[in-house]
Structure 1
């Protein structure tokens, strides 16, 4: 049961909380839209993977299941590869650049001070741009907030991972701005 009284017709998880208080929900969903869906040198699948990775570290099941599914539906290799990456990024079949960015996201999810010059240098050596490094840190920071928002208010979330498949398809089709509306 959520820690705040919410209408039963609101969406599950963070979107329901955004609908509960649209004045704060709209800017939060717009931030997710910009970070995860706008034109970028990192693919949408990779940015969603960073969000899922941080959510796994924070033990936020709703965000982990949602963003890993959004990543899997957009990743050329699909669910199996996304699961491998989330299980062990260091040995996953991904580029050195994405490995370095995931390492930065891990550090940023622990503390901003945990991101070191060496991590940033490693990411640059692997081909990461300043914008990619910036956005990786911002995705990690934002998802620490989204994770705590969802779990801190005990949002109602689906237990069945299959429930996240249509939610992910809707996000891919309509974007994150649709999360803060009650349609």
Structure 2
């Protein structure tokens, strides 16, 4: 049970979904942010890559709900599927991703550790691998936003889905309709 009474069946609305129903007025803004960061068209980063950054940061934050959700969302949109997501979460330095994405994941990990740990050297390294200023910006924003989302979900003690297949089912909905659809 969540730390507060959400006034709903938490088994039906685990994780952030129960929180969104509890405060629909804040859910609008949070869903719009997730849509802009993860699902909306992007000139160079795929939705799967952006979801992968969210999953990676959520894993570093040990937020089981968000890590599991966004891992499923990334897997549904990446050619490498869940095996690739698992590789990245275990060790992005040896995962089968582009050098550019590896550089962006390093920046995301630095943001998770603390914004001031993002160094000019990390940014320069990502740029040397082909990352643009827009990609660096969006990576920092995704990582920072997921630190907030993770703390929101875990700080209120939300429940996990009883059936882990719920993540995969939701992934198909997110892949097609996004976060505001």
Shift of 1:86: 1.2
Shift of 1:81: 1.4
Match of 2:96 among 82, 93, 96: 93
Distance 1:164 1:143 in 2: 17
1:47 and 2:57 correspond: no
Question: What does residue 138 of structure 2 align with?
Answer: 135
1:154 and 2:157 correspond: yes
Match of 1:29 among 28, 31, 40: 31
Question: What does residue 104 of structure 1 align with?
Answer: 107
Distance 2:114 2:163 in 1: 31
TM-score w.r.t. length of structure 1? 0.93
Distance 1:161 1:96 in 2: 32
Shift of 1:161: 2.8
Distance 1:11 1:63 in 2: 14
Number of residues paired by the alignment? 178
TM-score w.r.t. length of structure 2? 0.94
1:59 and 2:50 correspond: no
Distance 1:14 1:156 in 2: 9
Deviations 1:48-107 (A, max 9, x none): 000000000000000000000010011012111111111110011111100000000000
- Across the aligned residues of Structure 1 and Structure 2, the Cα RMSD in angstroms comes to 1.2
Distance 1:58 1:70 in 2: 18
Deviations 1:95-151 (A, max 9, x none): 110000000000001111000000000011100010100000000000000000000
Match of 2:18 among 11, 16, 19: 16
Structure 2: which 5+ runs fail to align? Answer: none
Shift of 1:160: 4.1
CA contact (8 A) 2:60 2:109 kept: yes
Which range moves more in the overlay, 119-128 or 157-166?
157-166
Question: What does residue 181 of structure 1 align with?
Answer: none
Structure 1: which 5+ runs fail to align? Answer: 179-183
Distance 1:14 1:90 in 2: 30
1:6 and 2:3 correspond: no
